[in-house]
Structure 1
Amino acid sequence: MLVGLYVLAFPYHPGLRSPNELCRLWQTRALVEYGTLDINRALQDYGYVGDLSVKDGKYYPSKAPLLSFSAVPIYAVLRVIGGGFRYAVPEVPLVYFSRLFLTVLPTLVMLWGVRRFLSAYVSQAVADAVTVTYALGSLAYSYSLLFMSHQTTAVLLFGSFYALWRCARGEWRERGYLVAGAYAGATVAAEYTGAMAVLGLVLYAVMTVLWRPEPMRARLLTLGRAAGLATVGALPFVVGLMLYHQAAFGHPLESGYKNLADAAYQPWHLGGFLGIRYPDPRAFFLSYFSPLRGLFMLAPFLLLALPGLVLLRREGRASEEYRALFWLSAVVLVGYSYFTSSFSYDSWGWTTGPRHLTGLVPFMLLPVGLLLERLRTGRHQWTLGAAAAMCLASIVITGTATFINYVPDNVSNAFLGLALPLLKSGYLPPSVLSFWGLTQPWAGLPLVLGLLALASWVFIWLAGAGGGFAAREVLFGGALAAVLVFGVQATTTKRHEQDRGAVQFLQSQWLTPPHRTLSFWPDPRA
């Protein structure tokens, strides 16, 4: 069911001309069709898109280039299937298959690693529940279903961490550091801001080596070998990124953000490092608590990570392994919090949640799991019910918003002000089932029912894990938390003209309106 929710959902509306996605795919087209890095001819042949940089009259995506290049073999195969000519690949199948192979499937593989990691510290029941909640109740779901680099960054960061973690536990040989370095290098080539979390991973790697019960000389030698292997792994991606910058923007350290084509966006990236300056309390608060796209408003289960970090810190007093994990989680949380507080909050526009925090979320899962494990055996079972309800609410809220995934800036509340009104009016999530001849609501209804079923399963699985699902105390705690979470959602929904206007606008752009069919691969020559 989880796989189906990832593979079948297709929130995409061509009329919106999704700039973050299409600018990358236009470069993919340019690489295959014309053998160029610039997308000038692609803009002429396939239509204008946004999120561009310009240098000496040549246009490029403003984004880091990894996804554009990674989609080249996918586009080449689709081009052959479509007949082998310039317009052989329509936009919808290009977007769908690029998402499927480069953002959806990597996340599904990552979920196996997340479950394996969590299972080393918490019970299988908690590990399963946290993994499913992460998969459907966090930004992981939102950005797996978009051809953007945010969930790609999360996957690569976790892959690097997973390799370091296995090496630290002695389960992999030292060449695992080569894998960790490759993932870290690819992270920066996918999203520049991923470098913040990479620094946290470097700290984690150093701690896990230096805190080994070995003579100092042996530890230093191991650290040197690990650093060398990681550098070798990262080098192809770092060098490739610098060569790309040199070819496109004239300097190996000059990115597209310094050459933005739209002057209105340039102030967001001026000053500091790529626009990162002194923190702003407003940006911090809205990034975490805005009813439109605040991280904790969309995924309240992540609030459990805050007391969970305290538990992780306590475990670290007696265990170097836990201590290193605590400092990794804390450093990544502080780094991303500083970034989201010092960058312009207004630049997150038309997205589900604070998209640049996507890479943070995997590093909050162990603290969440540790807290849930403690609540399972605690005396006050109502707290377990409350925590389980927060997981359920996260899946319902973020999962429903992800079915929309294009959230206008003037909406009061992404869940009750936009997503739910669209679903109630029959505009169910676009689904691959529509490509097989099913119309709405029958094509999108399985996605909605599947999401609700898995949300309910997480609550039952967690509450039952405490040995007292039928206990009134557990149900009382769950009901109390649900009323609180959804009550906050209701009180922050204004249902004003902007909400209604956003709903009507998205209805006019909907890929699969009620009772209409959709051609997945129309003949471009028709």
Structure 2
Amino acid sequence: MSVPEAPAEPEARASRAPRAVYAVLVALYVLLFPYHPGLRSPNELCRLWQTRALVEYGTLDINRALKDFGYVGDLSVKDGKYYPSKAPLLSFAAVPVYAVLRAWSGGFLYAVREVPLVFFSRLILTVLPTLLLLWLVRRFLGSYLSPGVADAVTVTYGLGSLAFSYSLLFMSHQTTAVLLFSGFYALWRIARDEWRERGYLVAGACAGATVAAEYTGALGVLGLVLYAVLSVLWREEPPRARWVRLGQGAGLALVGALPFVVGLMLYHQAAFGHPLESGYKHLNDAAYQPWHLGGFLGIRYPDPRAFALSFFSPLRGLFALSPFLLLALPGVAVLRHEARARREMRAHLWLVVALLAGYTYFTSAFSYDSWGWTTGPRHLTGLVPFLLLPAGLLLERLRTSGHPALLGAAAALCTASIAFTGVATFVNYVPDDVSNVVLGLAVPLLRAGYLPPSVLNLLGIPNPVAGVLLLVLLLGLAGWVFVRLGLHGTERPGATPLIAGLAMLALLLGLQTATVKHHSGDQGAVRFLEKVWLVPPGRTLGF
């Protein structure tokens, strides 16, 4: 039996509650500002120092920026000139932000301070694009799922996955997810004959920008290419028409991608002496070089340790922080069943399988130790939005097939994801020697009053009061997701979903408790972060 397309719900109930929920979600994204200058966040600041260099000195290298604004990490060096080791898109994208802040603040060299620079760069270039992505995700899911499930899955993705963590950091991982899904969305609309072929220009531009933002995003681009080809070849058209369409689409996509690809190659030529040579071949820190040697750009044969830790480690395992993504694994079988009945779902099935296999191989074959001081396995961020439909289809199947206990347990996985990832994101800088990010780091900091900096602090509300308000909003949405999935939209749910959900939450909390050690690594990390915390208890924030 196929999952019905977006079953109707009472209009008043289906519209008013989600509006308030999405307003709270947007507020959490806009208000939260987990940043601590004392950490000298290398992944973020190396990009922004290049932004400073571009505006202040008109140079790609950041030698003068390092001298004028202080040393940062994650650098490459070529012929005595220093550059960020990262792909350059975000550095260039932040130039207008920096220029406006500089003009507004007086127009002199030191006019733009670090904290407002990081805040507005995140807000404009990582937070707002993710909010747009959530809108696209909801529209996409709404074509296959009921409104209740589509809303709950969208909110869970927004607050219970790596999307939340990396939207609140000036890094390229969530940028990659935004660009990949936006490119897929364009291809999906074309495949449904809702967009004209000009949409391939959008898909191509997103693909090119993805590689310019993060080199490993090329893995996701290959998945999009597979989806584009299959969605054309499986159309109900004469073979000649399909090949003509495929050729036109490839040409338009290439035109869309070309400015970003050529720009990236010109950057490599200017900085590192060859259009295909990135900064990872010229790392300034010799200790990082082994991670990128051997195999293809450091990708070797799979390592069981890297696989296990990337997915299940209590420190930064994908499923440990976002257990709702486990639903996508059996959800692939539901998607396969749907693909038999709907031609348009076949290409999507292959896309999900290809991305899941490709990203799993990548995270298993690359050095796990290179993730470093982050929330979750950061290079898997681009995979996550493509797991939402399989997870949603499974939830829909559980709602319609009369399995209230399984539905309650599945809803609890979504609730736990928001709680676990949410409190981890409140910290968002995770030392490597912590045993468990939730109970070993985030909860001790929260208990001590070290809640995240936020716009509320700028308005004069000190921590921990401001942070507690945001924590209440986060946990409130976690509870709403459980109610929306487990208790609403099902006939006579009774107490079974609630009991099963509480049992699942108890199991997940038990696993968290069993894996936290409270050893010297946990205690040292807590003490260190307390020393560098931007807004400690009783303090407010000023730019």
What TM-score range do you get, normalising by the shorter chain?
A: over 0.9
In 2, the alpha carbon distance for the partners of 1:306 and 1:230 equals: 31
Per-residue Cα deviation, 1:280-329 (whole angstroms, up to 9, x for no partner): 11101100000100000000000000000011112212322111111000
Q: How far is the alpha carbon of 1:439 from its aligned partner?
A: 1.0
Which residue of structure 2 aligns with residue 131 of structure 1? 154
Which residue of structure 1 aligns with residue 277 of structure 2? 254
Q: How many residues align?
A: 520
Paired residues for 1:271-282 under 5 Å: 271-282=294-305
Find the partner of 1:233 among 243, 253, 256.
Answer: 256
- Contact in 2 for aligned 1:460/1:469 (Cα 8 Å): no
- Contact in 2 for aligned 1:157/1:184 (Cα 8 Å): yes
In 1, the alpha carbon distance for the partners of 2:493 and 2:221 equals: 45
In 1, the alpha carbon distance for the partners of 2:135 and 2:433 equals: 37
Find the partner of 1:399 among 419, 422, 425.
Answer: 422
Per-residue Cα deviation, 1:260-296 (whole angstroms, up to 9, x for no partner): 0000000000112221111111101100000100000
- Structure 2: runs of 5 or more not aligned: 1-23
Q: 3-state DSSP class of the match of 2:344?
A: helix
CA RMSD of aligned residues (A): 0.8
Per-residue Cα deviation, 1:27-78 (whole angstroms, up to 9, x for no partner): 0000000000000000000000000000000000000000000000000000
Is it true that 1:90 corresponds to 2:110 in the alignment? no
What one-letter code is carried by the residue in structure 2 that aligns with 1:246? Answer: Q
What one-letter code is carried by the residue in structure 2 that aligns with 1:319? Answer: R
In 2, the alpha carbon distance for the partners of 1:470 and 1:462 equals: 11
Per-residue Cα deviation, 1:177-209 (whole angstroms, up to 9, x for no partner): 110000000000000000011001000000000
Which residue of structure 1 aligns with residue 4 of structure 2? none
In 2, the alpha carbon distance for the partners of 1:518 and 1:64 equals: 32
Per-residue Cα deviation, 1:189-237 (whole angstroms, up to 9, x for no partner): 0000000110010000000001001000000000000000000000000
In 1, the alpha carbon distance for the partners of 2:88 and 2:114 equals: 20
Is it true that 1:112 corresponds to 2:135 in the alignment? yes
- Structure 1: runs of 5 or more not aligned: 521-526
In 1, the alpha carbon distance for the partners of 2:157 and 2:210 equals: 20
In 2, the alpha carbon distance for the partners of 1:469 and 1:41 equals: 68
Q: How far is the alpha carbon of 1:469 from its aligned partner?
A: 7.3
Q: 3-state DSSP class of the match of 1:451?
A: helix
Is it true that 1:263 corresponds to 2:322 in the alignment? no
Which residue of structure 2 aligns with residue 447 of structure 1? 470
What one-letter code is carried by the residue in structure 2 that aligns with 1:30? Answer: A
Q: 3-state DSSP class of the match of 1:226?
A: helix
Is it true that 1:314 corresponds to 2:314 in the alignment? no
Runs of 4 or more above 4 Å deviation: none
Which residue of structure 1 aligns with residue 187 of structure 2? 164
Which residue of structure 2 aligns with residue 300 of structure 1? 323
Is it true that 1:47 corresponds to 2:70 in the alignment? yes
Q: 3-state DSSP class of the match of 2:274?
A: coil
Is it true that 1:15 corresponds to 2:20 in the alignment? no
Find the partner of 1:475 among 498, 505, 525.
Answer: 498
- Contact in 2 for aligned 1:384/1:466 (Cα 8 Å): no
Of residues 26-35 and 491-500 in structure 1, the stretch that sits farther from structure 2 once superposed is: 491-500
In 1, the alpha carbon distance for the partners of 2:493 and 2:353 equals: 36
What one-letter code is carried by the residue in structure 1 that aligns with 2:532? Answer: Q
In 2, the alpha carbon distance for the partners of 1:300 and 1:465 equals: 22
What one-letter code is carried by the residue in structure 2 that aligns with 1:19? Answer: P
Per-residue Cα deviation, 1:75-107 (whole angstroms, up to 9, x for no partner): 000000110000000000000000000000000
- Contact in 1 for aligned 2:174/2:382 (Cα 8 Å): yes
Which residue of structure 1 aligns with residue 354 of structure 2? 331
Is it true that 1:57 corresponds to 2:57 in the alignment? no
Q: 3-state DSSP class of the match of 2:82?
A: strand
- Contact in 2 for aligned 1:376/1:465 (Cα 8 Å): no
Which residue of structure 2 aligns with residue 524 of structure 1? none
Is it true that 1:493 corresponds to 2:524 in the alignment? no
In 1, the alpha carbon distance for the partners of 2:320 and 2:412 equals: 14
Q: 3-state DSSP class of the match of 2:331?
A: helix
Is it true that 1:202 corresponds to 2:259 in the alignment? no
**TM-score for both structures, normalised by structure 1:** 0.98
Q: How far is the alpha carbon of 1:459 from its aligned partner?
A: 0.5
Which residue of structure 1 aligns with residue 401 of structure 2? 378
Percent identity between the aligned chains? 74
- Contact in 2 for aligned 1:468/1:474 (Cα 8 Å): no
Q: 3-state DSSP class of the match of 1:54?
A: strand
Q: How far is the alpha carbon of 1:476 from its aligned partner?
A: 1.6
Per-residue Cα deviation, 1:148-169 (whole angstroms, up to 9, x for no partner): 0000000000000000000000
Is it true that 1:243 corresponds to 2:266 in the alignment? yes
Of residues 490-499 and 238-247 in structure 1, the stretch that sits farther from structure 2 once superposed is: 490-499
Q: How far is the alpha carbon of 1:465 from its aligned partner?
A: 3.1
In 1, the alpha carbon distance for the partners of 2:50 and 2:492 equals: 53
In 1, the alpha carbon distance for the partners of 2:297 and 2:335 equals: 33
Is it true that 1:350 corresponds to 2:381 in the alignment? no
**TM-score for both structures, normalised by structure 2:** 0.95
- Contact in 1 for aligned 2:85/2:283 (Cα 8 Å): yes
Q: How far is the alpha carbon of 1:470 from its aligned partner?
A: 5.6
- Contact in 2 for aligned 1:53/1:261 (Cα 8 Å): yes
Q: 3-state DSSP class of the match of 2:299?
A: coil
Which residue of structure 2 aligns with residue 505 of structure 1? 528
